[in-house]
Amino acid sequence: MTKDLSEHPLVQHYLTILRDHRTQASEFRRCCRGITGVIMVEAARSLQLDPVEVTTPLEVTQGARLCPGVVFVPILRAGLGMLDPAMNVIPNSSVGYIGLERDEVTAEASCYYAKMPDLSDSTQVFVLDPMLATGGSAAQCVEQIKAHGAKRVSMVCIIAAPEGVATFQEEHPDVPVVAGKIDRQLNDKKYILPGLGDFGDRLFNT
Ligand code: PRP
Ligand code: URA
């Protein structure tokens, strides 16, 4: 299942600033935080609830609390920009990290770091990566997360390419992709068009 949130006015607003080649790092970071909050609220629809009773000043009524066991896994580096705003949406969460870097020529991702908290079949994992291009980084990350025992995984992106989403979903049909926008296509260097360029470079001013 893929969700494209580009109809949302806030997504359109933040994405326009992120795409603009003139946008400087500080503004880029601010908009990354803003758009991630909106996308994360939508991704959070997959969360499970425990029913609880709550006493208002007037009476007792039925309420609900989030089940514990939410884990965020940002893909380094660029996914780090999404971590803080995602934790603002779901504060009671744990964090794992995975470092993946695309080869500049082949665009194939290789893993240079991984640190996961305990994961079980009831854990809800949200993988954070702003750009899903060929889908290789996302697929490798989810493979490792599943190998650690998680069964409930969602992919949270800011921009995805249709080719990458198709490849990713062939490998992981059980993992929903929630994206701010599914863009047009990849170019011959496997960059997303129209895209916003290299997210990590723009976020970290490198
Ligand atoms: C970017 C991006 C994704 C990946 C997407 O990371 O943040 O992780 O490329 O491409 P794919 O879908 O084709 O695998 P990059 O490898 O540039 O590393 P960085 O975040 O450290 O800049
Ligand atoms: N990674 C990026 O940062 N941008 C792209 O367009 C593709 C991969």
Going through the chain in order, the beta strands assigned E by DSSP cover: 2-4, 49-55, 60-66, 70-76, 93-95, 97-102, 109-115, 124-128, 131-132, 152-160, 177-182, 185-186, 192-193
Residue 105 lies in a domain: yes
What's the domain range around 163? Answer: 2-47+66-204
Does a structural domain hold residue 60? Answer: no
pTM of the entire predicted model: 0.97
Q: What is the pLDDT of residue 14?
A: 98
Query: Is 201 one of the catalytic residues?
Result: yes
Asked whether residue 75 is domain-assigned, the answer is yes
* Ligand 2 atom at shortest distance from the alpha carbon of 199: 3
Closest CA to 172 of 143, 206, 205: 143
Tell me if 109 CB under 6 Å of ligand 1. yes
| Tally of domains in the chain | 1
Residue 53 within any structural domain of the chain: no
CATH at residue 72: 3.40.50.2020
Q: Is residue 56 part of a domain?
A: no
Q: Give the residue among 113, 111, 103 at the shortest CA–CA distance from 134.
A: 103
Phi, psi angles (nearest 5°) of residue 44: -70, -5
The DSSP bridge pattern shows strands 49-55 and 60-66 to be: antiparallel
Q: Looking at residue 189, what is its pLDDT? A: 95
In a domain, 9, yes or no: yes
Q: 186: Cβ below 6 Å to ligand 1?
A: no
* Sequential pLDDT tens for the chain (206 residues): 999 999 999 999 999 999 999 999 999 999 999 999 999 999 999 999 999 999 999 999 999 999 999 999 999 999 999 999 999 999 999 999 999 999 989 999 999 999 999 999 999 999 999 999 999 999 999 999 999 999 999 999 999 999 999 999 999 999 999 999 999 999 999 999 999 999 999 999 99
pLDDT given at position 127: 98
Residue 55 lies in a domain: no
Ligand 1 binding pocket includes 78 (Cβ within 6 Å): yes
58 falls within a domain: no
Q: For atom 10 of ligand 1, which residue has the closest CA?
A: 133
